[in-house]
A = this chain, B = another copy of it.
């Protein structure tokens, strides 16, 4: 078979505002985001719905989510399945919708990410820790926060840096979220002093080194590129994608500070999309933790090892920099409703590539990069988009 890498395009997006607490339940958030994306695409039907959600098993007691949301959205009858890749789950939903369209099994497919973390706030940390090894890591007290704190401590030690060298990531994210109406932290100015003075949540990580717990839902509508213009005059092509895994546990990796799956995944996606690093006009990274942003910039080759933080410190990741990152606020300031995050990022990439990013609009981006990280780097999904 010879299916071109860009056989699939996005023709509609839909986002709900990310909030600390949404009044609506999980199914309603999901259905509303689906409806918004369908309205944007101008469709009243879809063949398939792929739902990304990580925490409903524990927080809502729900394990049959895709069909529940399809029903709530009035779409019962269609194919509906749930997919997951820990904290990269939203990207897994996008991946599946892509496969469904590229395989010819669906004409119109929807990828939905939805997460409601406010339901049982006390259980969120433990539920998130199930992204780690339940037998070999969790019993030692490990959480996603503690794993990232360990990586940060290693990084500061190896490269002789200070935690304040990482302030640029939070400052950039908040500056960009400021003008994004869907962001958790919009209309909020955050200063370097506030970042530096924020409480340590897991040494050496400060509150501002971590993304917040919140509720959100976002969806995108996919169809074949060949017919995309019958839906919209501004389709966005999915140029290439790659999913790569690493050794599961950080302890089993040759170098904990090298995200091997990130490096290999971006290389493979570049090859499939036939684009080069220099083509990338914006990069939506998995900035759940500032150290993760830094390690991703290094693994993907945009910065040398030990130099990723500098891209933030020197303003190169800002909207006016040479590699804009987290252009609508990122996981850090738009918010990180886990299973929804990568779909929000996809929607934001579509906004940027189609001139709909408002105050944050980049000049003329042609190619955008999205990378999503499951757990502590065990699963990495890369997607590349173009006009």
Q: Which residues of A contact B (CB under 8 A)?
A: 1-3, 7, 25, 48, 54, 57-58, 60-64, 66-68, 70-72, 75-86, 92, 95-96, 98-100, 102-105, 127, 130-135, 138, 224, 241-249, 252, 261, 264, 374-375, 378-379
27 residue pairs of the A-B complex, CB under 8 angstroms, read A1-B7, A2-B104, A3-B103, A57-B130, A63-B84, A64-B132, A64-B248, A64-B378, A64-B379, A66-B85, A67-B245, A67-B246, A67-B248, A68-B248, A70-B245, A71-B378, A76-B245, A76-B247, A77-B246, A77-B261, A79-B242, A81-B84, A96-B96, A96-B99, A99-B99, A99-B100, A103-B103
Q: Using known A-B contacts A3-B1, A96-B96, A99-B100, determine if residue A247 contacts B71 with beta carbons closer than 8 Å.
A: yes
A67 partner, pick from B2, B60, B134, B375, beta carbons under 8 A: B375
Q: Is the Cβ of A85 less than 8 Å from the Cβ of B82?
A: yes
The distance from the CB of A225 to the nearest CB of chain B, in whole angstroms, is 10
Known contacts A57-B58, A105-B99; A64 and B1 CB within 8 A of each other: no
Given A76-B245, A104-B102, A224-B1, do A60 and B134 touch, yes or no (CB 8 Å)? yes
Q: Which of A133, A249, A379 has the most CB of B within 10 A?
A: A379
Bound-state Cα–Cα, A165 to B378, Å:
52
Contact present for A1 and B104 (CB under 8 Å):
yes
Chain B contacts for A248, CB-based, 8 A: 64, 67-68, 71-72, 76
**B71 & A245 in contact (Cβ 8 Å cutoff):** yes
Q: Is the CB of A67 within 8 A of B81?
A: no
Most buried by B among A7, A105, A224, A242: A105
Contacts of A105 in B (CB 8 A): 99, 102, 241
- List chain B residues, Cβ under 8 A from A99: 96, 99-100, 102-103, 105
In the complex, which of the residues B77, B81, B374 contacts A83, with contact meaning CB atoms closer than 8 Å?
A: B81
Bound together, the chains give a CA A246 to CA B76 distance in angstroms of 5
Number of copies: 2
Taking a contact as CB atoms under 8 Å apart, the answer to whether B95 and A130 are in contact is no
Residues on B with C-beta less than 8 A from A48 are: 243
Give 6 closest A-B pairs by Cβ, nearest first: A102-B103, A79-B243, A63-B130, A64-B86, A99-B99, A61-B134
Q: Which residue of B lies closest to A83 (CB)?
A: B83
Smallest Cβ distance from A244 to chain B, in angstroms? 6
For residue A75, which residue of chain B has the nearest CB? Answer: B245
CB–CB A81/B85 < 8 A: yes
User: In the complex, are the beta carbons of A63 and B54 less than 8 A apart?
Assistant: yes
User: Which residue of chain B is the closest to A64 with respect to CB atoms?
Assistant: B86
Q: Cβ of A127: which chain B residues have Cβ within 8 Å of it? A: 63
The CA of A249 and the CA of B71, in the complex, are separated in Å by: 9
In angstroms, Cα B344 to Cα A338, docked, is 32
CB neighbours of A75 from chain B (8 A)? 245
Tell me how far the C-beta of A131 lies from the nearest C-beta in chain B, rounded to whole angstroms. Answer: 5
A85–B64 Cα distance when bound, in Å, is 6
How far, in Å, is A165 (CB) from chain B's closest CB? Answer: 30
> A61-B134, A77-B246 are known contacts; what are 20 more A-B pairs with Cβ within 8 Å?
A1-B102, A1-B104, A3-B3, A3-B103, A3-B104, A25-B135, A57-B58, A57-B63, A62-B130, A63-B84, A63-B131, A64-B131, A64-B248, A66-B379, A67-B86, A67-B245, A67-B246, A71-B247, A71-B252, A99-B103
Given contacts A96-B83, A246-B76, contact A374 B133 (CB under 8 A): no
A81 to B241, CA, bound (A): 14
Q: A62-B134, A103-B102 are in contact. Are A79 and B245 (CB under 8 A)?
A: yes
